[in-house]
């Protein structure tokens, strides 16, 4: 039997790996923002929320790269179409706009804007 990278079994495996990588990568990418926020005197709550918002686009980029490496650039749209068919299970929190560069940059800029506004209000 030939193995197909476009099988449902492979999609489930990729999804499981992505879900298991989500929290560690989010923490990895959020802590620099958190440290800078704390050093500038911003409240811990705003620093935590801003750190999560700041870490999201980097985490999404790495997960998108994982899907691209697993399936190839020409076939990754099949995986994303599969995710949209299961919005309450495998595709939970998935929306196709998440992988657009403009969206990820705007999230990172929003987090930086939150830091600047908080710093101005506290300072």
Query: Which domain does 115 fall in, by range?
Result: 8-122
Position 110 in a domain: yes
Position 36 in a domain: yes
Distance CA 25, CA 73 (A): 22
pLDDT band at 81 (very low <50, low <70, confident <90, very high): very high
Position 41 in a domain: yes
Mean pLDDT across 6-15: 91
Q: What is the model's pLDDT at position 1?
A: 43
Average pLDDT, the chain: 91
Tokens of 122: 């506290």
Position 2 in a domain: no
Residue from 20, 58, 54 nearest 34 by CA: 54
Position 1 in a domain: no
Position 104 in a domain: yes
Write out pLDDT tens, residues 31-69.
Answer: 999 999 999 999 999 999 999 999 999 999 999 999 999
Position 3 in a domain: no
Number of domains the chain is built from: 1
Q: What is the pTM of this model?
A: 0.87
Contact 93, 11 (CB under 8 A): no
Position 35 in a domain: yes
């Amino acid at each position: 039997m030939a193995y197909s990278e476009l099988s449902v079994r492979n999609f489930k495996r990729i999804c499981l790996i992505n879900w298991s990588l989500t929290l560690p990568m989010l923490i990895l990418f959020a802590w620099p923002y958190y440290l800078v926020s704390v050093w500038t005197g911003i409240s811990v709550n705003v620093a935590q929320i801003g750190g999560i918002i700041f870490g999201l686009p980097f985490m999404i980029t790495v997960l998108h790269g994982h899907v691209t490496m697993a399936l190839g650039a020409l076939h990754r749209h099949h995986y994303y179409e599969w995710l949209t068919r299961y919005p309450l299970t495998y595709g939970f929190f998935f929306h196709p706009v998440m992988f657009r560069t403009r969206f990820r940059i705007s999230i990172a800029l929003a987090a930086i804007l939150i830091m600047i506004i908080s710093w101005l209000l506290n300072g």
